[in-house]
Amino acid sequence: MAAWGAMERGIKRSLLIWHRRAGKDEVALHEAAIAAHLRPATYWHMLPEFSQARKAIWNAVNAHTGKRRIDEAFPHELRENTNDHEMFIRFKSGSTWQVVGSDRYNAAVGTPPAGIVFSEWALSNPAAWGYLAPILLENGGWARFITTPRGRNHCKKMLDMAQGDPRWFSQVLTIADTGAVSPEAVEEQRREYHALFGADQGDALIEQEYYCSFEAAILGSYWGREMTLAEKEGRICDVAYEPELPVHTAWDLGVGDSTAIWFFQVHGQHIRVIDYYEAHGYAVDHYVKVLNDRPYKYGNDYVPHDAKVREWTNAGPGGLAKSRVETMIEFKRKPVLVPNHKLDDGINAARRTLGRCVFDQTKCFDGLECLRQYRREWDEDALVFRNTPKHDFTSHSADSFRYMSMAWQVLAGEKPKPDPGKNINTMSLNDLWKSTKQQDRRI
């Protein structure tokens, strides 16, 4: 009721951190139904990924009533038409409502929204709000952020800000506050989590989902422990640029996807990560300008091994296709191919590298969020984590950090090391064969 009262008072920014099954989406859907009839406009319900939207909202059924969530919030009598394929509703009032994904926040076309619900905000790309906030500011629109916590990420930062800003309504509700889920039901869930994830991770998940704890590590995170340690040791702080050291960059290249760039300096066995930049849909000249506008003395630009592949979209002398490396050289950059490596080796190299890094907390904020949330993909059918990363907004930053983790070792005069965690029980036959051959050569 407090959240609803804030909406009725005209508060245009709300952050609702409510426990699992507290009714976050239901409240947001019903508010959108009212807003659509008070002000004819475009409204969005935004999930972290477009692929989640149909299951979580469009086709979801209220277990208490047996009715679809959207049918409860938007009765058919209010609608002009419904487009199931696009998950789009047009109301007789002239308003429209649609389910979208924050992974495609800058790809949506049409009338700018006057109201947006960011569902599962803690798992969403924070850049979505950076892109859409000016639109809502210009048209006097509203935004609701609804979520459970996922570590001390951008959602916690937003809560800290909102609690001190009278223009925002913020609220944290646990099961102790609402009584919506019984302690017995939570304990039953705890036993299931213990069976699936182990006691420590299971308890952490209960604290996160039902008691809104920000301290629990993100389940399935590749580098959650290393990032938590970096914070505890004060290695996420203010890091000044050292003019005596060259600034190297590590790139994950993309056009259809994002391009992510880490800026780092190597001092012996320590890495000073001083800056980060990511953008979507631009050609190489945009990124070169971004780099040139910074006051750094540059060294090498480390790029993935596939940057040497020629692209038919770039014509060189005689009409021959150019590689991305050649294009970067034309812009007076110094591209260097990162040693080719397996994904697992790169992830483990990054894990070791994180212990040697200090990060600038301001300039690297967006990249740090990605490193915290980079995680394994969950197989809902088999109820296990796959051995592959989840591809979302964190992927490009994580990939470029992998490349940095391979590159700095070359700069420091070392060869990238293999995964030290492999043993005879976890080796593949191919790994075991290689190991045997190396021992034969040493003998």
Decide if 436 is inside a domain.
Answer: no
Same domain, 247 and 128: no
Determine the Cα–Cα distance for residues 247 and 277; give it in Å rounded to an integer: 14
Same domain, 363 and 395: yes
- Residue 435 makes CB contacts below 8 A (sequence gap 6+) with 427
Decide if 379 is inside a domain.
Answer: yes
Determine the Cα–Cα distance for residues 37 and 350; give it in Å rounded to an integer: 51
Same domain, 166 and 188: no
Q: Which tens digit of pLDDT belongs to each residue from 85-122?
A: 999 999 999 999 999 988 777 665 567 899 999 999 99
- pLDDT, position 109: 53
- pLDDT, position 425: 38
Determine the Cα–Cα distance for residues 368 and 372; give it in Å rounded to an integer: 6
- pLDDT, position 430: 45
Q: Residue 87: which H helix or E strand, with range?
A: none
- pLDDT, position 268: 86
Q: What is the layout of strands, in order, in the sheet containing 236-237? A: 236-237, 357-360, 270-280, 258-267, 247-252, 298-303, 335-337
Same domain, 200 and 269: no
Same domain, 161 and 200: no
- pLDDT, position 396: 93
Spans in the chain with pLDDT lower than 50? 312-313, 417-443
Decide if 228 is inside a domain.
Answer: no
Same domain, 102 and 51: yes
Q: Which tens digit of pLDDT belongs to each residue from 384-413?
A: 778 889 888 889 999 999 999 999 887 776
Determine the Cα–Cα distance for residues 400 and 119; give it in Å rounded to an integer: 28
Determine the Cα–Cα distance for residues 111 and 44; give it in Å rounded to an integer: 11
Same domain, 284 and 206: no
Decide if 94 is inside a domain.
Answer: yes
- pLDDT, position 435: 42
- Taking 3-state DSSP, the helix, strand and coil percentages for the chain, each rounded to the nearest 5, stand at 40, 25, 35
Give residue 72's domain range.
2-173
Decide if 417 is inside a domain.
Answer: no
Decide if 442 is inside a domain.
Answer: no
- pLDDT, position 367: 94
Same domain, 54 and 109: yes
- pLDDT, position 189: 94
- pLDDT, position 428: 41
